[in-house]
């Protein structure tokens, strides 16, 4: 799909985690699915999307030269403008990436490097929603019945599934809005597991964009087997 409006759009891809739950010698970002590293699949999705003007890749400091050679050069990714060193928490990695985006950036997407199956439609829908509402979050309605527990895993209550969503990435924002939220969180030592929360606490309304169930985050070993199947379908 061709870009239809005149805004500068950046994506910060965070790939500076340790991948501890994968329990593997090589970082999950570099594990190959269908012969191609996870992170290269992920970058490819944004490289191929005409709405994206630049990609900021956040990785472990020690991987910068490896990544330049074996990912950026090897796959000829032209939109990757900067490789940035991450921090010890995802939130710090995102903040480091946000500080490096182009000065003209209007809209920024934040995406997990470990989600290689994001669809172009999802990227574009999130951009349109963020340009209209200021902030958007890709998510899918939960399929399972969800219960809340209290002491020692006994059921306390069953939640009403109709309003429950599993949150994914990309999460997409007007740049000035998310930058301000990250600065405040950092000053106030507020830690969170995603970026939307940083705006929720400031009272900003965030639009949910319905994504797809195959936009999985590769986290544990079982996910690699699923990923091989998904990569074959994509």
Closest CB 73 distance from Mg ion, rounded Å: 28
Question: Residues 52-71 vs ligand CTP: string with x where CB under 6 A?
Answer: ------x-------------
Are residues 48 and 126 in contact, defined by beta-carbon separation less than 8 angstroms?
A: no
Interface size with Mg ion, residues (CB under 5 A): 1
Stretch that binds ligand CTP, among 9-17, 100-108, 142-150, 159-167 (CB under 6 A): 9-17
Residue 194 binding target from Mg ion, ligand CTP, none, CB below 5 to 8 Å by type: none
Q: Residue with the closest Cβ to Mg ion?
A: 17
Question: Residues 31-60 vs Mg ion: string with x where CB under 5 A?
Answer: ------------------------------
Q: Give yes or no for residue 37 binding ligand CTP (CB under 6 A).
A: no
Are residues 33 and 39 in contact, defined by beta-carbon separation less than 8 angstroms?
A: no
Specify the residue, 29 or 134, whose C-beta has the smaller distance to ligand CTP.
29
CA distance 143 to 166: 9
Sign of CA dihedral 29, 33, 37, 40: negative
Q: Give yes or no for residue 116 binding ligand CTP (CB under 6 A).
A: no
Q: Give yes or no for residue 14 binding ligand CTP (CB under 6 A).
A: yes
- Locate 82 and state its tokens: 């900067």
Q: How many CB atoms lie within 10 A of CB 168?
A: 24
CA distance 200 to 11: 21
3-state secondary structure of 91: helix
Integer angstrom CA distances of residue 59 from 12, 17, 92, 223: 11, 8, 12, 21
Closest CB 12 distance from ligand CTP, rounded Å: 9
**Contact residues for ligand CTP, defined by CB under 6 A:** 14-21, 58, 86-90, 93, 112-114, 217, 219
């Amino acid at each position: 799909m061709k870009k239809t409006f005149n805004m500068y759009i950046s994506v910060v891809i965070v790939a500076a985690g340790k991948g501890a739950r994968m329990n593997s010698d090589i970082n999950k970002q570099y594990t190959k699915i269908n012969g191609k590293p996870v992170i290269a699949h992920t970058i490819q999705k944004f490289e191929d999307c005409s709405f994206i003007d630049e990609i900021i890749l956040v990785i472990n400091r020690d991987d910068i030269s490896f990544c330049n050679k074996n990912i950026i050069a090897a796959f000829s990714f032209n939109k990757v403008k900067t490789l940035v060193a991450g921090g010890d928490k995802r939130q710090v990695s995102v903040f480091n990436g946000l500080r490096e985006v182009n000065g003209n950036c209007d809209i920024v997407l934040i995406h997990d490097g470990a989600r290689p199956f994001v669809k172009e439609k999802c990227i574009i829908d999130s951009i349109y929603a963020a340009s209209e509402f200021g902030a958007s979050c890709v998510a899918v309605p939960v399929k399972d019945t969800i219960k809340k527990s209290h002491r020692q895993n006994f059921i306390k209550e069953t939640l009403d599934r109709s309003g429950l969503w599993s949150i994914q990435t990309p999460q997409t924002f007007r740049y000035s809005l998310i930058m301000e939220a990250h600065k405040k969180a950092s000053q106030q030592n507020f830690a969170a597991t995603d970026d939307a929360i940083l705006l929720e606490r400031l009272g900003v309304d965030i639009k949910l964009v319905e994504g797809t169930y195959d936009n999985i985050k590769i986290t544990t070993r079982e996910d690699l087997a699923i990923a091989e199947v998904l990569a074959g379908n994509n």
